[in-house]
Structure 1
Amino acid sequence: MIKFVAPCIIFALLQFQSITEATVVQTCTGIQSPIYVNVTGCDVEPCKFVLGTTAEMYLSFVAPFTSNTLVPKATAHLAGVSVPYPLGDNACPNLVNGKCPIQEKDKLLYRFTLPIAGFPEISFVLEFKLEGDGKKPVTCFKVKAAVVKG
């Protein structure tokens, strides 16, 4: 019983913390928006990512369909150029609650990190998307960001 209750309490606390510290983000056209996004240390855009650190983000969403896979995609958009940021090909291990396969209407919390290294000081729009089976979009958001020196 304790094995079940403890994760539920942790999830509830994370949900409450994230809701009270949600980051204002932009939606992606034609793709379901998250319930909320929490970019640690950022309430409003532009989010500042400090060189040599790791940015941490939480994304709460409702699964719009059942999917065996969940793939993270990040793209930096700047000056008309889109640059993909590699995040691996499996978001499932980063689900704070739930597991893959995800089920339609599951309320899920995903945690991901972005190492901020090897970038110049620059401003851009970060688009983050989770894709399910067949590259079908699950959820998406955009946030204005800037890489800055510490």
Structure 2
Amino acid sequence: MFRLAIVCLALFLASVSATNVRQCKNGRPFPLSVEIEGCDSMPCSVVKGSTAVMKVNFVGTHDNTKSIRGVVHATALGLTVPYPLPDDVADVCRNLLYGASCPIDESEDVVYNFNFYVDSSYPEVSVKVELDLIDENQESVACFVTDIKVQRS
């Protein structure tokens, strides 16, 4: 009962500062919340050559998930392409906050600190960014879509 109260309080606090994002297609699990620093609603403005910091609060989908990788696809001007992440950023387990670590169990509530670098060579356009967290069985653990507007500094 006490654990349930703490989880409910954490969910409430997370929703207070959460950024409004969209669910991915194909029924992939939606995170509990996503907080994009400096952004309350889409599109989020991101300066070229800077890093967008996102805290993704999600729940484990099955017991003993040993590894999770972040996979990003970006869509701009009607073209969707994979956006390769550096290994240290894509490794979700390495970037869990508040003392959490892998393996993650079913219904375990964790927060991934995702740092999305926007290269200075990016054109100044609106981009749809999809972040899918994929476990070692190639199954989605959490997925969301956000819109960003790439701007000059």
TM range (shorter): 0.7 to 0.9
- Counting aligned pairs with the same residue, the percent is 32
Report the Cα offset of residue 102 of structure 1: 1.1
**Amino acid corresponding to residue 121 of structure 1 in structure 2:** E
Q: Which stretches in structure 2 are left out of the alignment for 5+ residues?
A: 1-8
Aligned to 2:149: 146
Cα RMSD (Å): 1.7
Structure 1: unaligned runs, 5 residues or longer: 1-11
Matching of residue 35 in structure 1 with residue 26 in structure 2: no
SS at the partner of 2:146? strand
Give the distance between the partners of 1:106 and 1:72, measured in 2 at CA: 18
Alignment TM-score, normalising by the size of structure 1: 0.84
Check if 1:23 corresponds to 2:19. Answer: yes
Matched, 1:122 2:122: no
The 4+ residue runs of structure 1 with deviation greater than 6 A are none
Q: How does 1:49-128 map to 2 (within 5 A)?
A: 49-66=46-63, 67-87=65-85, 88=87, 89-97=90-98, 98-117=100-119, 118-128=121-131
Aligned letter for 1:94? N
Give the C-alpha shift of residue 20 in structure 1: 2.0
* Range that drifts further, 114-123 or 28-37: 114-123
Aligned length, in residue pairs:
137
* 2: CA distance, partners of 1:26 / 1:19: 14
Question: Distance in 2 between the 1:41 and 1:34 partners?
Answer: 19
TM-score of the aligned structures, taking structure 2 as reference length: 0.83
Which SS does the other structure have where 1:19 is aligned? helix
Deviations 1:95-123 (A, max 9, x none): 00321111111001110111222211111
